[in-house]
Chain A
Amino acid sequence: MSMVLFDVPGPKARVRHKIMAVVGIAVALAAVVYVVMRFIATDQFSARRLDWINYKQIQLSLVEAIGNTLSAFALGAVLALVFGAIFAAARLSDHGWVRAPAAVIVEIFRAIPLVIMMFFFYYGLPVAGVKLSAFTAVVISLMLYNGSVLAEIFRAGINALPRGQSEAAYALGMRKTQVMMLVLLPQALRAMLPTIISQLVVLLKDTALGFLITYEELLRWGTRIGNDAVNFGRPMIPVMIVVALIYIGLCLLLTWLANYLEKRNRRNKKVIHTDDDAAAQVQLGAASTAVGGGLTV
């Protein structure tokens, strides 16, 4: 934790902290109790509103919905990584005519909201006679947007590698492509792994935007069951709690994976450690890109 702002507490401060802790707990508890009271008062957890969990068909459709979310995520992630690698390489090219358009494309796709992209592919393109399924529209949008963000992350990672790496590779007689593909990209990928995975968490959350273009993913499943008045009397609250827990669980699993890989990486001797200053620089740059790009849901 951060101890920047405060001295180590003395006896008086410790007492004060304890009192504040008690007040804090009381306030938090009061808030939780109030919400739970509202749940009970409006009968959100009645047997009828929880009954949906018991049905086999609903369980199956839930599994299917999670599958749809995950398949959009998986395909989107792979394509975004490929897109990101290609455009990162293009932005680092020696030729201006490759660099410039790549930079423009990356900047533009980072600036357009994902929702607008999805609308464009799903509602816009059929006007021009190109019909895409909701799934395709979701995946393409995820690829373009997250791929652009990833391109920036890769670029930052490659720029942060010690120059000796590429110099040594050139000295060995490697060509530009070989230097990039065999030496720089793999190392940058390793160094930026945590940032890349947190961008993938963003991508996973972004699949929920498919809701807006009627892609049958987890959130859409939730609203369908949650709005069911005929069978279950609109169990929106319990269903949404379950859906939220699933999303949080999936995202935390990915984050856990990121931490795990980072730890393993640190032990790995093969990783070239960038000197401290450059590393800090990358972290900062990556943090802002990741958060910035990252925020889109």
Chain B
Amino acid sequence: MRVRTLAAVLLTGALALTACGKEGSPTDQGAPAGLFEVAKDVKVDGSPTFEKAKARGNLVIGVKEDQPGLGYKDPTTNKYSGFDIDIARLVSAKLGFDPEKIQFKTIQSAAREQALINGDVDYYVGTYTINAGRKEKVGFAGPYFVAGQDLLVKKDNTDITGPETLKGKKVCSVTGSTPIKQIREKGYTEPENILEFQGYSQCVTKLLNGEADAVTTDDAILKGYAAAEEGKLKVVGKTFSKEPYGIGLPKEDKALRDKVNDILQGALDDGTWQKIYDGTLGKSGSKAQKPTIDRY
């Protein structure tokens, strides 16, 4: 008897909870739907990935969800937004998929190669740096953006002006990421001053309450956070590496890689790329450098 009462109370509680609730986001920043014209009758000869997606009827795109301005999932609407997301939408539109036929899937950095190899996602757009090691496992179209490693510090910080000034400072980044490896290998700061967490947002928390002096990773990511924190943080602006972002694809699928490269080249030429940049990362105030597509 008591169990039944309890169940009833719980159920009513759950109903009450779901019955009321605001919709929409307090800070609307999603790109307007139908931004890109959907191409008709697209064919990509000899691309197994494309054939599979066509048969399935939708595209599964791997993205990030915790990087404001690049790949960010708004928890209030579950909608994705940002530069990477718009690039992903552009490519899918040019491949002939309706916006509602796209399924975004959040994939953590460490699991990217595996997701592509397993075919969990059709392609991946999420601050994915092209390098030789990764090219052995997956294919890359692009780059669609060239970022560089930079430092995020508090607005009033004047002693950190570049990587050489990091000695004795606490530097934070994501566990196992390339940027933190760089800091460690080049000895920019002492090993005991390196902080590693699972996500950049956790590092930003540490930076804000003074337990870290700088957060390091690609400037594109840092700019997103600087914009989100409304004038409390700044990006130093002296990049010390080149991080060409590519669209990750299954390694063998050269046909799809060439097609995506064509799409990106087209967007760079007709101003769509610029429009996407202005609507997302451009809001941080910095100018964009157009990348050069690297075909292989």
Contact = CB atoms under 8 A, between A and B. Distances in A.
Interface in A216-248: 223-225, 227-232, 234, 236
A227 B66 CA distance: 9
A61 B76 CA distance: 9
Interface residues of A, number: 26
B283 to A, nearest CB: 12
Contacts of A236: 205
B75 interface: yes
A236 B27 CA distance: 19
Nearest to B110: A123
Interface in B215-247: 225, 228-229
A63 B22 contact: no
Contacts of A55: 21-23, 75-76
A229 B209 CA distance: 14
Nearest to A223: B202
A52 B75 contact: yes
Interface in B30-89: 66, 68, 72, 74-78
B202 A227 contact: yes
Contacts of B78: 57, 61
A58 interface: yes
Contact of A54 (B21, B74, B225): B21
B27 A227 contact: no
A59 B21 contact: yes
B114 interface: yes
A229 B229 contact: yes
A57 B75 contact: yes
A230 B76 CA distance: 11
Contact of B201 (A56, A60, A131, A227): A227
A60 B17 CA distance: 9
Contacts of B111: 214
B68 A230 contact: yes
Nearest to B224: A230
B118 interface: yes
B75 A229 contact: no
A162 interface: no
B122 to A, nearest CB: 17
Given A126-B114, A224-B75, A56 B22 contact: yes
A236 to B, nearest CB: 8
A51 interface: yes
A208 to B, nearest CB: 14
B285 interface: no
A152 to B, nearest CB: 30
Contact of A214 (B17, B108, B114, B202): B108
B266 interface: no
A58 B75 contact: yes
A58 B76 contact: yes
Interface residues of B, number: 32
Contact of B75 (A61, A63, A123, A214): A61
Q: Which of A51, A123, A131 has the most CB of B within 10 A?
A: A131
Q: Which of B29, B76, B202 has the most CB of A within 10 A?
A: B76
Interface in B92-141: 108, 110-111, 114, 118
Contact of A63 (B18, B25, B74): B18
B1 interface: no
B74 A231 contact: yes
B100 to A, nearest CB: 18
A61 B72 CA distance: 16
A228 B75 contact: yes
A225 B114 contact: no
Given A55-B76, A58-B76, A131-B118, A227 B22 contact: no
A225 B78 CA distance: 12
A57 B76 CA distance: 5
Interface in A31-57: 51-52, 54-57
B77 to A, nearest CB: 6
Nearest to B65: A224
A228 B77 CA distance: 13
Contacts of A60: 18
B191 to A, nearest CB: 22
Given A57-B76, A214-B108, A229 B201 contact: yes
B105 to A, nearest CB: 12
A235 to B, nearest CB: 11
Interface of A: 51-52, 54-61, 63, 123, 126, 131, 214, 223-225, 227-232, 234, 236
14 contacts: A52-B76, A55-B21, A61-B78, A214-B198, A227-B199, A227-B202, A228-B75, A229-B201, A230-B68, A230-B228, A231-B26, A231-B74, A231-B75, A231-B76
Given A55-B23, A56-B21, A224-B66, 19 more contacts: A56-B18, A56-B22, A57-B76, A58-B76, A61-B78, A63-B18, A123-B110, A126-B114, A227-B205, A228-B75, A229-B204, A229-B225, A229-B229, A230-B29, A230-B68, A230-B74, A231-B25, A234-B205, A236-B205
